[in-house]
Structures are given as C-alpha cells and as structure tokens.
Structure 1
Amino acid sequence: MKPQVLLVFLTRFEESTAMLKGIAQYERSHRPWAAFLDDEARAEHDPQWLRSKKWHGVISRHTTPALLQSCAELKIPLVDLNDTPLNPGVPKIRPDNTGIGHQGAEHFMERGFRNFGFCGFSTDAWACERRDGFVEALRLGGHGCEVFDVEYPGDLTPFWDAKQTTALAAWLRRLPKPAGIMACVDMRALQVIAAAQTAGLLVPEEISVIGANNDTIRCELAYPPLSSVAPNAFQSGYHAAETLALLMSGGKKDVVMDRRIEPLGVVTRQSSDILAIDDKNVAAALSYIREHACHGISVEEVLKHAYASRSQLEKKFRRHLGRSPQAEIRRVQVAKIRQLLFETDFPLKKIAELTGFEHVEYMCVVFKRITGEAPGSYRKKVQTKSGN
C-alpha cells in the first residue's frame, strides 16, 4: 500500500509551487506516495479535517499550533517548511536567511556602493537573520549600515502601507547617496521603492533596491522591476520529502532537525542594475543603456543622451567600469537573456526579439562568447538546479 501523505500548502504563493515541484521530484525518483494536496491549507485550522483520514505523514508550509497538536496526538510524522522558530521534535527545513543577507550585501559591494541600508521587521526572526547577515557581510567588507526596522502588524493594509511610505521617505532623504538598500522581503522592498519616489529620489541612480524571496510577479510588476535574492524553494521541498520518507520508515535518528537551504542567488533587475558612479556623463549613459539596451540600440544613440563625445565616453567607461559602452550594452542584454532562460520557457527566437537581436544565431554567438555556454545548455543547468 502506498503511504498516504498530506501536503498542506497555499498554492497561490510562488514559493509553495516550487516546493511542491521538489516534493514531486523526490517522489518520482523514490517510492511513490498517494499524496493529497490541501491547497487551501484547511488542515492548519481544522483538526477534524485532518482526522477524517489515516495519514502516514504530513508536509506543511503553513504549520500552526493546532496542526502540530493534531499530528502529535495522532502520531503522524510532520515536516515543517514554515520559516519560524523550531517546534520540539518536529524537523524544520527553511531558507538560510543569513546567507540571503550575505548575498544582498555582496551584490551591492560588487557594484561599488559605499552607503548601505537595511529595511525589515524587528519582530520576525527570519527578517532579523537576513538583516544580521547583510550587516555582517558589510562589516567584513569594511562598511557600516543604517537600519530601519519596524514591528510588522501581521497584515498589509492600505493605511499601514501609506504610513510606512511616509516614514521610509523621511529615512531615505537622510541617507548619503547613492545608497544600496536591502529589504527583508519583496513586499518591503516595494515600499522602499514607493518611498524613494515619494521623496523625489531616483531608483536605482540614487537609491538602489533589492528584496528577497524573488516573488516573480511582484518583482516584475514593480517599477522599476525589483531585484531579489532567490531562495531555493525546490530544494526545500525535495529535502522535506526526503525527511518525511525517513520518518515514515522509522529513521528519526538520521533526520536533521533544522536544515537550512542555501539561496540560489540574486536575480538582477533594474532596481539595482547600476554601478555607484558619480560621473554625470557615465551615469546618464548607464541609465539610457539600462532602459534601452534590449531595444537594439547603438553607441551613437547612447552618446546623444550622455552629452559626451565618443572618445570622452570611451575613456570614462574604461576608467570607471573597465569596459566600453558597447560592452556594457552587451552585458545588459546578456543579463536579460539569462533571466528569460531561467524564468520562462520562451523559444530562443522569442528571447532574441525581446533582447534586441535581429537574428537568433547572432544572439547565441554573443551569449556563448560572454558566458562560455550556449543558451540551451545554460537554461538546462539553471532550470534543473531550481526545479523549473
């Protein structure tokens, strides 16, 4: 008889869907289960619903005291995927939040920033871990960090959002510019972008912003689109299934009770895709390239918006960036190609159109010259790693 496994997930969250893909991958490569997806997470608040059937195991992304108690009373093995403090005797799998903070800091330091801020929630342990990781990495790099933490009320209301935008705008005005700001989660990062715009500050030229969790739809709907540290939710799901299999086979002594999953890395979008440079000609050129590189622009078009001669701009680019304006155009195009290969299943011809290449063959040549990999090989590698 196949083990009866209950999966408690709200599938409207992108992270939950990625976790479920990881669980499915484990099940396909090991002993099959009879899995039931509670995609409204009813079991988290309805003990009778959980008792309506004999379950051999539960994996939950939305673990409540009621669910913990019911599983304990019924002696059902439970694996917890919620990013909250440990519950005694219940294995937990969650993101490496310190690592997420580290990656955000490294992203900004690599771009030459010297001024930094972090915006988070003082009452949530996961947010504090991300803050501490960000601050620690900056400290090791010889930098300080301004912190703007508040208590999260537990629900995002228009009134609270407006109040936060006002307070954040005042904080951002006081920071030295340009500044790299990381937020504990994408929703909070969107508040930072709104606050910067309220304060009349340019994003990313004056305030560069990065979030965390890489909620793709939320990030892409932002203006400018939001960069974000992507957790590896697929691996979280895979390890959750692996852990539950151990519990159901009586191997509890081999179970890791608190497993942290390393993030995939930063998905760079326009909110942070800039270098901290105080040269006005270079800054203007970079701003134009960032906005239009994927429209098939030429260096001559860039010169018109940089208010500099070609020889002047070439010299300034090489001094500040170590590369030419043409190379920067290609860098932005390749970054967009990487993103589309990772996040979509678009054919290469469509990706070429979206990134300013008239011929798909030439796009493939450029991509391989810069990355060392063909687009198809790169897509297979990154999508296998993330479970896409």
Structure 2
Amino acid sequence: MSQKATIRIALLLGQDLGYSRRVLSGVLNYAESKQLSCSYHNGAPDVRIIPALEQWQPHGVIVHLSERILAERLQALSLPMVSVTHTLKNLPISHVDVDSVAVGQVAADYFLSQGLRSFAYYGSRHAVFSCNRERGFRERLEVLGYPVANLHADFLPQPPFSQDWTRMDRQTERWLQRLPKPVGILASNDIPARALCELCRNVGLRVPDEVAILGVDNDVSECRMSDPSLSSVELPAEQIGRDAMQLLLSQLGGGHAGGGVQRLLPPMGVIVRSSTDHRGTAEPLLQRALDYIERYADRGISVVDVCRHAGRSRRSMERRFQDYFQSTIYQRIQQVQLARAKRLLLESELSISVVADRAGFSSLRQLDRVFRKYETVSPSAYRKLL
C-alpha cells in the first residue's frame, strides 16, 4: 500500500486505562513522524463493535485484546492486526507488549533493595502477562531462597457488571492477614494494586509498614487515587504504540494479514511513591544509613558520608549492605538518585542538566552513564518513551 494513500485504521484501545491512552499517543506519534495519511476510528475492545468494523472496512486493526470471543471475531475478518497486550494464550495474532518476565524481575530486585524478605504476588492465573510477571518475580526470589505466596484473581479491563466483588474482597482480606509481615506484594497491574491498598486499610494493615504494594503500568490516575499513593513499574507504553503501528504497516505493505510476530520491550523501572516507602530490615544501623541516603542522595553524598553518619567503618557497612540488600552502598545511592531523576523526567519539563543536578549527580555525564547502566537508554531517550 502506498504511504500517500489514506490508511483506515481501527484503534480498539478504549480510553479507560492510562496504558491504552499512552499506546494511542505512540501510534499517532509514529504516524505523524512518517507523515502518513491516516483515518482512524477509536473504539472499545468490545465484540459489539464488529458490525461497525464490517461496515467501515478498515485496512488494519490495533487492539488491546483481552477477550477470546473478540479475538475470534476479529480473526474472521481476515484483517492485518496487532495486539498491544499479551493476554490470551495460543493466539496467532501479532502482539507488541512489555517483557512481563522482566517486569517481575525488576519488582523483585526493587523489593530486595528495600530490605524486604517476605513476598507475595496478586494477579490473574489466566492472563499471559500476569503469569509471566509472577514467573519472573518468583524465579528471581526463589533462587535466593525466598518463597513467594500468591493469590489469583482476574482483573480485566472491562470486568462483568455481575462480578461478585464482595466475595473476592473477603478472600483477599483473609490472605493479607495470613501473610508474614512485613511483606512486599507485586500486583499484576495498578488496578488490583489499588484494591489491595484499600483492603489493607479495611482490615487495619499499615501500608507500607506492614504491607508494601507495587503495581504495574504507572497509570498516574490509578496511582493518585490510591491511598497511599501507589508505586508502580513503568512500562514503555508509547514505544509499544509506535512499534505496533510500525508492525501493522509492515503487514499492510506485504499485502496480507500476517500474524504470530512477538515484540517484547523492557520495562522502564519502578516509579516510587508512598505504597512502598518501607524499610524491611530490623537492624537500626542499616535503617539509619538508608534514611540518610534517602534524605541526602540529591546532595551528591558519598559512601564515606554514609559510613560516617552510621558511625561504622566502610568495610563493616559494605558487608552489611551486601548481606541485606545484595548491593553496595554506592549502588544504593545511585538507585535513589536514579529514581529521583526518573520522577523529574516523568513529571516535569526540566532540562536534563537540571534534572542531573537536582537528583544529586555530579554531572550530566554521570547521569547519562548511570541511566545507561540501569535502564539501557539515555535520559533523553527515556523521556521520549514516556
């Protein structure tokens, strides 16, 4: 198909999820960057839209595909199609999504860096992305000797109106109360994570002191509605949208629907908010060091400063950090500085040099080096992915 021709694209993404809105932005940004002539219809990923699709006859479809019946009806249309979620098993439809195993690994590493030693997972046993997040989380922790409890519950983008919330809430409350405390819980995404925060409040469990809760998606509205505000693993949603558009256009260029192509992108790290602002270690010396790092990392403190504040030798403190956090003091300082830099890149339009200074890095060059080490991209590339 000529790029000069008007391309009719059905965007079945919906607007309920922050993830879908950011994917949509990526789709549109890609089309604009390539100066494509496109005509769009944006609707909900609902089987009831099929008659409208049949009438409009789009050239291709980008869809947030989480229902089997919708998948079957779309496949029957024999259109080029790309899904922006890997939810359904054994589906011969191309998809672009985050690497959900890596999401679980990032979450595990984050909780370990907080000193937690008890862990649990809360999410679907059916959705592929949820299963993979649990697998990555579990594998990273169990190899270190930490078991992972779980409770499975399905949180769909469009849950049935008849869904019995009360029964699931009671089961979840009992599960929360039985978990050894303090515990770090990874939820499959932000919606169940926010639900966990509310249920903890209902049964008198303190978040994050007893239960630290981490979501996935960094849906800012969900995270802000949560009490306390929700920490979340950031996904490259806009890049997923760009890649989905590029993949769909490649299918259109080949003149056939194609299918079965899988692209998985790395997660962008943890955006830290109040729901995980917890230190699980009972050792006051390490608590004092961690509090000092959290408070002064943006002032460019050194390892020597931390050891001096704790009143111990560098050798003694490094050994304690390795035993409890599997990291060095310097790595911990960098991680706190990096988290602050990511928040500034996400929530402000400050120049990257100003971000480097305010996050505690000695120079723009150091910020760039640390970003590439932990995030594999430059600060400017990270900001463009948001």
Q: Give the equivalent residue in structure 1 for 2:112.
A: 109
In 2, distance between residues paired with 1:203 and 1:88? 39
Q: Give the equivalent residue in structure 1 for 2:87.
A: 84
C-alpha deviation, 1:134, in angstroms: 1.2
In 2, distance between residues paired with 1:156 and 1:335? 37
Q: Relative to structure 1, is the Cα distance of residues 263 and 128 closer, same or farther in structure 2, using a 3 angstrom cutoff?
A: same
Q: Give the equivalent residue in structure 2 for 1:248.
A: 252
Q: Give the equivalent residue in structure 1 for 2:127.
A: 124
Q: Relative to structure 1, is the Cα distance of residues 136 and 76 closer, same or farther in structure 2, using a 3 angstrom cutoff?
A: same
Q: Relative to structure 1, is the Cα distance of residues 188 and 32 closer, same or farther in structure 2, using a 3 angstrom cutoff?
A: same
In 1, distance between residues paired with 2:189 and 2:15? 19
Q: Relative to structure 1, is the Cα distance of residues 71 and 161 closer, same or farther in structure 2, using a 3 angstrom cutoff?
A: closer
Q: Give the equivalent residue in structure 2 for 1:14.
A: 18
Q: Give the equivalent residue in structure 2 for 1:37.
A: 41
Residues 1:219 and 2:241 are matched in the alignment: no
Amino acid at match of 2:18: E
Q: Give the equivalent residue in structure 2 for 1:355.
A: none
In 2, distance between residues paired with 1:80 and 1:159? 25
Q: Give the equivalent residue in structure 2 for 1:275.
A: 279
Amino acid at match of 1:149: H
In 2, distance between residues paired with 1:328 and 1:243? 39
8 Å Cα contact 1:118-1:131 kept in structure 2: yes
- Could you tell me the percent identity over the aligned residues? 24
In 2, distance between residues paired with 1:166 and 1:59? 37
Deviations 1:233-258 (A, max 9, x none): 22221221122112111276986523
In 2, distance between residues paired with 1:24 and 1:238? 8
In 2, distance between residues paired with 1:137 and 1:125? 18
Amino acid at match of 1:92: H
Q: Relative to structure 1, is the Cα distance of residues 373 and 84 closer, same or farther in structure 2, using a 3 angstrom cutoff?
A: closer
Deviations 1:69-118 (A, max 9, x none): 66555542222224322565432223322222122112112333221111
Amino acid at match of 1:192: L
- Contiguous gaps of at least 5 residues in structure 1: 297-309, 352-359
SS at match of 1:223: coil
C-alpha deviation, 1:378, in angstroms: 6.8
Deviations 1:338-361 (A, max 9, x none): 3132x223447xx9xxxxxxxx79
In 1, distance between residues paired with 2:132 and 2:29? 29
In 1, distance between residues paired with 2:262 and 2:196? 32
Q: Which moved more, 1:195-204 or 1:240-249?
A: 195-204
Q: Give the equivalent residue in structure 2 for 1:195.
A: 199
- Contiguous gaps of at least 5 residues in structure 2: 300-306, 322-327, 369-376
Q: Relative to structure 1, is the Cα distance of residues 253 and 178 closer, same or farther in structure 2, using a 3 angstrom cutoff?
A: same
Matches within 5 A, 1:92-241: 92-150=95-153, 155=159, 160-241=164-245
Q: Which moved more, 1:217-226 or 1:198-207?
A: 198-207
RMSD: 4.3
Amino acid at match of 2:261: M
In 1, distance between residues paired with 2:296 and 2:160? 36
Q: Relative to structure 1, is the Cα distance of residues 363 and 158 closer, same or farther in structure 2, using a 3 angstrom cutoff?
A: farther
Amino acid at match of 2:117: R
Q: Which moved more, 1:116-125 or 1:14-23?
A: 116-125
Q: TM-score, normalising length from structure 1?
A: 0.74
In 2, distance between residues paired with 1:260 and 1:185? 17
SS at match of 1:271: helix
In 2, distance between residues paired with 1:122 and 1:220? 27
SS at match of 1:133: helix
Q: Which moved more, 1:267-276 or 1:253-262?
A: 253-262
In 1, distance between residues paired with 2:383 and 2:280? 31
Q: Give the equivalent residue in structure 1 for 2:263.
A: 259
Residues 1:61 and 2:64 are matched in the alignment: yes
Q: Give the equivalent residue in structure 2 for 1:345.
A: 348
SS at match of 2:274: coil
C-alpha deviation, 1:8, in angstroms: 1.9
